[in-house]
Amino acid sequence: MEVRGASAIVTGGAGGLGEQTVRRLVASGAKVVIADLGSSKAENLAKELGADAEFVETDATSESSVKHAIERAAELGPLRVSVAVHGGFGGGGRTLKSNGTPHSLEDFRNVLDPYLVGTFNVLRLASAQMSTNEPLADNARGVIINTASIAGYEGTIGQVAYAAAKGGVIGMTLTAARDLAVVGVRVVTIAPGTFITPAYGDNPDQVEAYWGPAVPFPKRMGQPVEYAKLVLAIVDNDYLNGEVIRIDGAIRFGPKGPS
């Protein structure tokens, strides 16, 4: 699908994976809304990219906030691409601690809300806007790309909430694609493995030394630009739909981490 002259929205667009995605979309000719929580990084990225990008402060879990960002994107051109790569808050925890204390229900909900509910919120509102577009070849009106994680397949000990959230994103991919087929909107999910982003900490060398050797090939962590390249490949290939694509160097998590 051609994005030149169209608009795109990237929730979490100032984050590690999101920033590179924004840059790639702009380079491909799209006008991009950087939908993220307020930060100087988001503002600076928009300023650097100039007229082709705009920062709109956005809470992915809020209907009114996401609607506002999508409406702004649609003012820049027909919304053809939505990428949900926003993060969340809340720590990990075992289902049952060694002292017999069960996982906090509030903490569980706090993880699911941004990662799963927020992703669905963006999906449903973006698809509604895309359905109003003039169709391209094959009746295509847009593509929605969600972000899961390989933890949605093999979560490690203490990741029960995160694994549930990302497993939910994986699980809704095919159904959403079938739901939206009638309006010509594709849905594809990316499940990253270990990528060098702030989510892994502030010491890239340290996390690379820990995770890199566990990756079969290439024997390193992923780079955000590699995620962004996959986003553009999905946008370009109209026959990719209803699929979850792992991008992980063939790593599989063991119960306690690298395996």
The yes-or-no answer on residue 162 being catalytic is: yes
CA distances from 34 to 7, 14, 30, 188 (A): 11, 7, 12, 20
β-pairing, 53-57 vs 185-192, is: unpaired
| Phi, then psi, of 164 in degrees rounded to 5 | -65, -45
172-209 in b/e form (b: 16+ CB < 10 A) is: bbeebbeebeebbbbbbbbbbbbbbbeebeeeeeebee
How far apart are the C-alpha atoms of 122 and 128, rounded to whole Å?
Answer: 10
Catalytic residue among 115, 162, 210, 227: 162
CA 11 to chain centre: 7
Active-site residues: which are they? 162
